[in-house]
Amino acid sequence: MRLSGQLPVGASVAALAAALCLPVFGQDTRWKPVGRGGIELGLAGPAGAAVSETWFSPDGGALYVLLRSGAAWSTADLGQTWRSEDALAQADRAARFADRPAGGGAAGRIVRDPFGPAVQYFLGRDLLRSRDGGRSWTNLTNGGAGSVIGERQVDIAFSPQDPDLVVVGNSLGLWKSVDRGITWSSLNRTLPNFPRVAFLPMNGPGGLRIRADAMGELELSGAAAFRQLRRRPARPPAGWGGEDDARRSPKPPILPPGFAVSYRVWEDGAPISPDLTACAVAPCQAPRRHYLTALENNGRLWAGTSDGRIWVSRNGGEDWRLSFRDAEERRILRIWVDPENAAAALAVAGARVLRSTNGGAFWDDVGSNLPAGAWQAVVGHPDARAVYVAGEEGVFYSRVDLDKPGPPGVWRRLNGNLPAQAVDDLTVDFAAGRLYAAQAGYGVYRARAPVVEEAIRALNAADLSRRPAAPGSLLTIRGMAADRAEAGNARAPILSRGRRETQLQVPFNQAGRSLGLTLWAGLRKFELSMPLARVSPAIFIEDGEPLILDAGSGAIVGRNRPARPGARLLILATGLGRVVPDWPAGLAAPFVEPPRPAAEIGASLNGAALSVISARLAGGYVGTYVVEAALPPTAAVGVGVLRIYADGVGSNAARLVIEP
């Protein structure tokens, strides 16, 4: 989609800002924490990042904790409030270790209870206790259904003031028991030890998704907490070992499904690239410092290395072309590629923000007046001409053309009320115009996304994606409330309008590769252009859940009402193209003998074809199709991925919960 009438920022403005070293502008950005309930993994409370040590002060008045990240905190009220600690914490650690009775081996260690000479605790996968000097043991954290506080216990603290109070630190945070291990509660809700996370692409089923080490993929459930979607243990691919195991990034990048990286790219357990680092062309003094740090797959494969190289493969890894080499070998920490136009790409290399508008043939630095800091994340939006970066200095944005060369605009700071700490990752919800930032320890924050929020943009009404329009499909126009619309020379019926939002239907007679939209709001006129396809199927998603009905009861299928094996499903969608017989746009479909799509319709669950019973316009609705499909009686229980197809073109992925 391209909005006409918007002029790029003039070269003189950007050049002047860079030449005069103008300060970065800022604005009063209000960030709102999201997922304040923490991370719910079905434990005795919210989980957190890994803990290295925990101990009480000699008088028992304060509890200290040292996180795996190196941050130290103390609390004088058992977790209601926390205070950052440095030298004081180190002094108490020294006193604690001077008389710490401990033993054990590689599988764990034994710690004696200072209030009971015969009482011992074993810190291992679980927490065990012995009351008879180690002759017999009781598991305090695992009753058979898994640990209630997480695995890999690393430390335990005993309160000098209360013999029944013990605190345990492990791989999932800090936990408290007031009855010597019989019951447990979490101290992670208020402790600033939210794990370091990376955002997952916002183009799949559901809402905001993140990936956290040791926790797998998580999704924001409403605004309350992050909940686990799936656990993906970090396992090397078949054939991995030796140098590949040694030359891996200590901070694994987000990888497309089926891919792994060392100093080369692996797909489905086999290497598909040579050594892409500087070690391939010259002897390396320290080979373990040379590995891949970024990988993107958008029809092309893009790989970034720890020594400042960007590679591109247009044929799935058969051939690789060196796209960029940083003279100072600064680490490529992130590559972003426009999902709809592989020619538009961004990357961050140390303090540099790189742009390519021709598929990586040429890169230029668009950092202009950005402060000199290490950037961790970058994301762009060509239609809104917006680029956002994040790192040690916080969050910044600028107007930058991504579809043609041009000077950058002036960068503006968006830190606002964010904690004064580096931002690890960044993502933008382009449909809602919201910006998300992740900070290790503190969690995830949301703010309005300047430029994108104000930009007029056309989105698919079903999943608010930037997928192409199709004859008869429904579009949501964000950024304006239009009172009249045309597609080509045909009227595009407006179905609803609200504050800065319009929903309309594409006329069924549209053809070609692009759709030109003209919108009026009073006397103001706007023109948009977006891709057009014969079919562009999309399943309706509402509040993260697909609109799928049980054909027998008419009830919506979801987490609270799972589908059953053998059930017939009614899948609501748009974008299935022209219908037979012809039907006028803007008119609700009849209940009796509604028109049917001309395209061949299919459906799948986890990649396996489903039986499609019928496909038609939904009676009483405009631009909405209903696909009836049957689940096999042998459908696997759990969470599956459902898609529909029109002439072989697949829809978005819809999450389907199936229970016996």
CATH code for 538-658? 2.60.40
595-605 average pLDDT score: 97
Residue 94, pLDDT above cutoff 90:
no
Query: Considering the chain, what percentage of its residues have pLDDT values greater than 90?
Result: 63
Lowest pLDDT segment from 221-235, 429-443, 623-637: 221-235
What does DSSP assign to residue 546?
Answer: E
Query: CATH classification of 2-27+246-430, choosing from 3.40.1620, 2.40.30, 1.20.120, 2.120.10?
Result: 2.120.10
| pLDDT tens, position by position, 284-339 | 889 999 999 999 998 899 999 999 999 999 999 999 999 999 999 999 999 999 88
Residue 620, pLDDT above cutoff 90:
yes
53-79 average pLDDT score: 92
pLDDT bracket for residue 46 (50, 70, 90): very high
| pLDDT tens, position by position, 411-455 | 999 988 999 889 999 998 887 788 999 999 999 999 999 888 778
Sign of CA dihedral 526, 531, 534, 538: negative
| pLDDT tens, position by position, 110-139 | 999 998 888 999 999 999 999 998 999 999
Q: Provide the pLDDT for residue 471.
A: 97
pLDDT bracket for residue 5 (50, 70, 90): very low
Lowest pLDDT segment from 53-62, 90-99, 141-150: 90-99
Beta-strand ranges (E) seen in 213-318 are: 216-221, 225-230, 259-261, 265-267, 270-271, 292-297, 301-305, 309-313
| pLDDT tens, position by position, 536-562 | 999 999 877 899 999 999 999 987 889
d(CA 6, CA 409): 14
Q: In angstroms, what is the C-alpha Rg of the chain?
A: 28
How high does pLDDT run on average in the chain?
A: 87
Residue 7, pLDDT above cutoff 80:
no
- Residues 6 or more apart from 484 whose CB is under 8 A from it? 494, 519, 520
d(CA 32, CA 48): 20
| pLDDT tens, position by position, 11-40 | 333 333 333 344 444 556 899 999 888 899
CB of 118 closer than 8 Å to CB of 110: no
The secondary structure of the chain in percent helix, strand, coil, rounded to multiples of 5, reads: 5, 45, 55
What does DSSP assign to residue 556?
Answer: B
Number of other CB atoms surrounding residue 31 within 10 Å: 21
Number of other CB atoms surrounding residue 255 within 10 Å: 17
- Please choose, from the candidates 81, 76, 376, 34, the residue with its C-alpha nearest in 3D space to the C-alpha of residue 194: 34
Q: Provide the pLDDT for residue 268.
A: 87
Q: In the structure encoding, which two tokens stand for residue 50, read together?
A: 């890994």
- Nearest 5°: the CA angle 112, 117, 122 is 25
Strands 25-26, 412-413: pairing is: parallel
Residues facing 505 on adjacent strands: 474
- Please choose, from the candidates 309, 346, 542, the residue with its C-alpha nearest in 3D space to the C-alpha of residue 426: 346
Strands 39-40, 225-230: pairing is: parallel
Q: Provide the pLDDT for residue 523.
A: 86
| pLDDT tens, position by position, 328-378 | 999 999 999 988 788 999 999 988 999 999 999 999 999 988 988 889 999
CB of 346 closer than 8 Å to CB of 352: no
pLDDT bracket for residue 179 (50, 70, 90): very high
Exposed/middle/buried for residue 414 (C-beta within 10 Å: 0-12, 13-18, 19+): buried
Tokens 């990586």, residue located? 360
Residue 503, pLDDT above cutoff 80:
yes
Q: What b-and-e string marks burial along 419-446, b requiring 16 or more CB atoms within 10 Å of the CB?
A: beeebbbbbbbbbbbbbbbbbbbbbbbb
85-90 average pLDDT score: 62
Residue 207, pLDDT above cutoff 90:
no
Q: Provide the pLDDT for residue 258.
A: 84
Is pLDDT larger for residue 602 or for residue 529?
A: 602
Q: Provide the pLDDT for residue 298.
A: 84
d(CA 146, CA 149): 9
Query: Considering the chain, what percentage of its residues have pLDDT values greater than 70?
Result: 90
d(CA 502, CA 479): 8
CB of 303 closer than 8 Å to CB of 276: yes
Q: Provide the pLDDT for residue 400.
A: 92
Contacts by 404-407, CB closer than 8 A, 24 or more apart: 404/357, 405/357, 405/364, 406/8, 406/9, 406/11, 407/8, 407/9, 407/10, 407/11, 407/13, 407/14, 407/15, 407/368
Element at 268 (helix H, strand E): none
**H helix runs in 336-460, sequence order:** none
Do 2-27+246-430 and 538-658 show the same overall fold?
Answer: no
Number of other CB atoms surrounding residue 647 within 10 Å: 16
CB of 398 closer than 8 Å to CB of 356: no
Domain spans in the chain, listed from the N-terminal domain onward: 2-27+246-430, 45-186, 538-658
d(CA 586, CA 583): 9
CB of 657 closer than 8 Å to CB of 639: yes
CA distances from 507 to 75, 436, 582, 647 (A): 63, 36, 11, 20
